[in-house]
Amino acid sequence: MDKLAAGAAAVFSAVAAWAYAVEAIDRGGMHFDTTSRSLYGDSPAAGGGRGVTPWHGHSKDHRPDLKPIRLTCFVNREGVPLMGTVEDGNRSDKRLNRAQIDRIVQAFSPEALRDLVYIADSALVTGPHLDALAAAAITWLSRLPDTFGVAATAKATAWAAGAWIPVGRVAESPHAATYAASEQTGTMGDRSYRLVVYRSSSLDRRKAKTLERELAQARTAAERAVDTLTAQDFACAADAEAAATAFRATAPRWWPCRTTVGPVTVTDKRPHRGRPRRDVPAPAHTVYRVRVTWGPRDEAAVQTELARRSTRSCSSRRFRRRAMTPPPCCGNTRARLAWSNGFISSRIRRLWMRCSCRSRSGLRPSAT
């Protein structure tokens, strides 16, 4: 094990490549993902030259008290691994994606790269990564992060067009959510990409909580604006109507809003001290005030907004139209979910931990 420690990943990849060739295993759609594994014991000092270094950071197995290391895996649609590494615990998914791109560029011939589809999560979609993929002419598929403006544009265009293509279920359960897709195009940098917007019949619970929080904040802000508006006195009805119109234009669209303007007689303060005479009326003048009435919340609009927020955008580069219509894209997603939920089979994971982690760092994996 100690002799293999320095090149365990290379040995594993060589054996896997031989198995791919002998068994004629398909490697057209290759999936890349990472996970973490928490370790017990004392870790070697950083930079000690003993392989991977566990670091405190985000633990995907929910053990923040332990130092994790990172595992990467590059598999086909059936989950057969081709490449894999053990990395320091503080390496981000973006850095690991870039390292994997460099590895496959070195390992595959230009002809093989043209037939390969690199499938990964949204950490793949960054400016430098897209440049590297384009330079190597690698076809790729990923979820487009919402941080890109083109994602919001694609979603808005898809909802405006309303031409959704049914693609069925991703999970095998008969009660699983069904999906529909809308194909769009977008530009990132100086290149055009194919975008597929997916909507689900099952709304995202996290999005629902966020939307409810935003609605509560919007209602609180609207009530404060109402208090400010109704406390104002206007000299004429025209000014009050203008203020009411401006308020309706900025009012939250989730609640129907109705404003009315009416005169109000206001008693003025007497100019002199002392008890006023009974036969002298108190001075007064007429002002105009705005009254605001809220209707019940528009639940249909809220559900529509939640459905919009629950959509996902997949982006790709250089997919052949006939080969990658929305249903096969959904098939790639199904294959990705099938292996990434468990990352890789527990048997392969245990072998990796025994061959790579223990021999390179001297630590043992946690029982979690």
pLDDT number for residue 353: 39
Distance of CA 69 to the CA centre of its chain: 24
Q: Are 183 and 154 in contact (CB under 8 A)?
A: no
DSSP line for 194-243: EEEEEEESS--HHHHHHHHHHHHHHHHHHHHHHHHHHT--BSSHHHHHHH
Q: Which residues contact 118 (CB under 8 A, 6 or more apart)?
A: 30, 32, 101, 104, 124, 133, 138, 139, 140, 141
Judged by DSSP in three states, 252 sits in: coil
> pLDDT of 154-191, one tens digit each?
998 998 888 898 888 877 777 888 888 898 888 998 88
Closest CA to 107 of 85, 86, 123, 91: 85
Closest CA to 37 of 94, 89, 91, 96: 89
pLDDT number for residue 1: 63
Q: CA–CA separation, 179 vs 164, rounded Å?
A: 9
> What is the torsional sign of CA 36, 41, 45, 47?
negative
Judged by DSSP in three states, 132 sits in: helix
Q: CA–CA separation, 257 vs 299, rounded Å?
A: 15
pLDDT number for residue 175: 80
Neighbours of 181 (CB within 10 A): 23
Enumerate the H helices of the chain as residue ranges.
8-23, 93-107, 110-115, 127-135, 149-161, 205-230, 237-250, 299-309, 326-340, 346-352, 358-361
pLDDT number for residue 98: 94
Q: Which residues contact 168 (CB under 8 A, 6 or more apart)?
A: 178, 179, 327, 330
Distance of CA 336 to the CA centre of its chain: 16
Residue 184, both tokens: 């769009």
- CA distance to 222, 265, 306, per residue, from 215 (Å): 10, 36, 12
- Reading the chain (368 residues) residue by residue, the pLDDT tens digits are 666 666 677 777 788 888 887 888 887 788 999 888 888 877 665 555 556 778 876 677 777 788 888 889 999 888 888 888 888 888 889 999 999 999 999 888 888 888 888 999 889 999 999 999 999 989 898 988 888 889 989 998 998 888 898 888 877 777 888 888 898 888 998 889 989 898 888 777 788 899 999 999 999 999 999 999 999 999 999 999 999 999 999 999 999 999 999 999 988 877 777 777 777 777 888 999 999 999 999 999 998 888 888 888 888 765 444 433 444 444 454 444 433 444 333 333 333 333 343 333 333 333 43
Neighbours of 365 (CB within 10 A): 18
Q: Are 67 and 39 in contact (CB under 8 A)?
A: yes
Which amino acid is it at 364? R
Q: Are 38 and 89 in contact (CB under 8 A)?
A: no
Q: Are 131 and 138 in contact (CB under 8 A)?
A: no
Q: What is the CA radius of gyration of the chain?
A: 31
pLDDT number for residue 15: 82
